[in-house]
Structure formats: C-alpha cells, structure tokens
Amino acid sequence: MIIKSSKELKARYHDLGSGDIFLGMLTYRHLKQHVLIDLLERGVFCFPSALSQTLNRSKAAQVLVLKKWMLPHTFVITRRMDLIDIINKYNMAGITSVVTKEDHLHCGHGIRKWDTIETVYSFMALSESSYPFVIQPFLENFTDVRAIIAGDYVEAYVRHNPNNFRMNISMGGENYPYVLDKDIEKFCSGAMEHAKFPYAHMDLQLTDDGKYYLSEIALNGGLKGASISRKELDQKKQNVIENLAAISLTVS
C-alpha cells in the first residue's frame, strides 16, 4: 500500500503494516514524533524519512545529529548545568560573543547575539522555559549561502544584510547567485545522507580561510533569491521521494 497524503494516512492509519509506504510530510501538530515512531515500529517506509521529518522541526536535534558538520563549539543546552559546563569551555577557548538559537523558531526570529556567555546565563536564570536551545560562537565575518538540493538539481545563492547580523532575506537581506564547488556539494551530500534528507534547503557558513559549516537544514524553506519556482521545486522533490519509494519496493 502506498499512501500519498496526510489526509489519506489518517483515514488508513490502522491498516498500515510492514512494507507499506507513506509519501509526504506528516501534519499531526502535536503527535508527529509519536506517529513516526509507531510507523517505524510497524515497518512502514516514510519518504521523506522519519529522521529528516524530526530534525526538520528542531534546531537542537539538528546539532545532536549533525554536530560534526557545524561550526566548532556548537552545543545543545538542555539544562542549567549544560550552560555552566559550556561557560568553562568557552572561557578556556577565549570565546566571548555568542549566538543562541531558539528551538522551533524560523526566519531568523529565534536567533540572538550576546556579548558574553555570562549574559546568557544571567538571562536563563529567569527563563527556564527557553530550554533547549543552541549556542555557538558569534562569527564576525562569513558568507551566508542558502543551498537548495533536490536530486540532480542544485542551486545556491548568497544572503547578505549589511544592517543586521541575521542574513535572512525576510529580515531585509539581499541576495545574489552563488556556484557551489564540488567539495561543498560533497559536504552537503554527506550531511543529507547522514540525516536521511532526500532533498534539502541548507544554510551554510563560508569563512574567509576557506572553511565551511552547516548552520541549519530543512526539508522546506523560503525561495526568495532562488530562480526556481515553488511549483517546479515541489515537483522535483516529489520525483525524488517517488523514486526512493520505487527502489524500496524493488528491494523488498
């Protein structure tokens, strides 16, 4: 059985079993992770994968799984003791200014810059509800690149905002095309394969010394700055997961 919409999934949910396939994104607002676990335990194939759909919603979970692709000294903070431990690590490394990313917020709304990590700690003493969150060193100079990858289709563009450290175009940033070299494409493919993303919108940080890091990854994202239309990209993404479904049927 192949289920091609979340509406159909809800109607046929209890009929699904080992070898069946669900194509698409789950729309269960509060039960998504529970549903994905249940489908995995029953042997149902999900495209996009259950892992990618879980990571898609959480910046903290992305760091947990994709930390080695990210800027050094990027950590997930889940409780006060974690933050105290990172204060020691950052001070030993000479890191002063930091950036925090609030989980589940997008378009730059949850990104905050702090002059010192002690300021973060003082704030968090009065805001226990903000856990978990991501913390990393503040990069003064880097090139922000949005890469869109779906099968053989690869497009990238630079996002730049001279008036705000948040480079999101929705925050007033500008954009211009960027050509990914083969090494960066391989870097992106490695992260996607590890996190089981069949396609991705990836935000990259390219530093002046030639290094590059993953900032965030998503299954869907804004297309301001891209040459491809939403309709065209959605079709390419659909082709990717349908091809994966066909392969899984052949193997099984």
Contacts of 138 (CB under 8 A, 6+ apart): 97, 98, 99, 113, 114, 165
Give the residue with greater pLDDT, 15 vs 104: 15
Answer yes or no: is pLDDT of 32 > 70.
yes
For the chain, the straight-line distance linking the first and the last C-alpha, in angstroms and rounded, comes to 13
Give the residue with greater pLDDT, 172 vs 111: 111
Answer yes or no: is pLDDT of 222 > 90.
no
Answer yes or no: is pLDDT of 7 > 60.
yes
Q: What is the pLDDT of residue 140?
A: 86
Instruction: State the amino acid at position 232 in one-letter form.
Output: E
Sketch out the chain's domains with CATH numbers.
Answer: 2-57 (no CATH), 72-137 (3.30.1490.20), 143-241 (3.30.470.20)
pLDDT tens digits, one per residue of 182-220? 999 999 999 999 999 999 999 999 999 999 999 999 999
Q: What is the pLDDT of residue 153?
A: 97
Q: Token pair 């994968």 is at which residue?
A: 49
Q: What are phi and psi of 47, to 5 degrees?
A: -135, 115
Q: What is the pLDDT of residue 225?
A: 85
Q: What is the pLDDT of residue 111?
A: 85
- Determine the Cα–Cα distance for residues 200 and 233; give it in Å rounded to an integer: 11
Q: What is the pLDDT of residue 249?
A: 81
Other residues' Cβ atoms within 10 Å of the Cβ of residue 72: 12
Average confidence (pLDDT) over 220-245: 94
Other residues' Cβ atoms within 10 Å of the Cβ of residue 91: 13
Looking at every residue in the chain, the average pLDDT score rounds to 90
- Strand 133-137 vs strand 75-77: parallel, antiparallel, or unpaired? antiparallel
Q: What is the pLDDT of residue 184?
A: 97
Report in angstroms the alpha-carbon separations of 232 from 152, 228, 248.
13, 6, 25
- Strand 143-150 vs strand 199-206: parallel, antiparallel, or unpaired? antiparallel
- The closest alpha carbon to 143, from 60, 203, 83, belongs to 203
| Tokens describing residue 229 | 């239309």
Answer yes or no: is pLDDT of 107 > 70.
no
Q: What is the pLDDT of residue 108?
A: 65
Instruction: For the chain, give the number of residues.
Output: 252
What would you report as the CA-atom Rg of the chain, rounded to the nearest whole angstrom? 19
- The closest alpha carbon to 220, from 203, 199, 241, belongs to 199
Residue pair 46/66 in contact (Cβ under 8 Å)? The answer is no
pLDDT tens digits, one per residue of 40-69? 999 999 999 999 999 998 999 999 999 999
Q: What is the pLDDT of residue 45?
A: 94
Q: Is the pTM here over 0.75, yes or no?
A: yes
Residue pair 18/43 in contact (Cβ under 8 Å)? The answer is yes
Answer yes or no: is pLDDT of 133 > 70.
yes
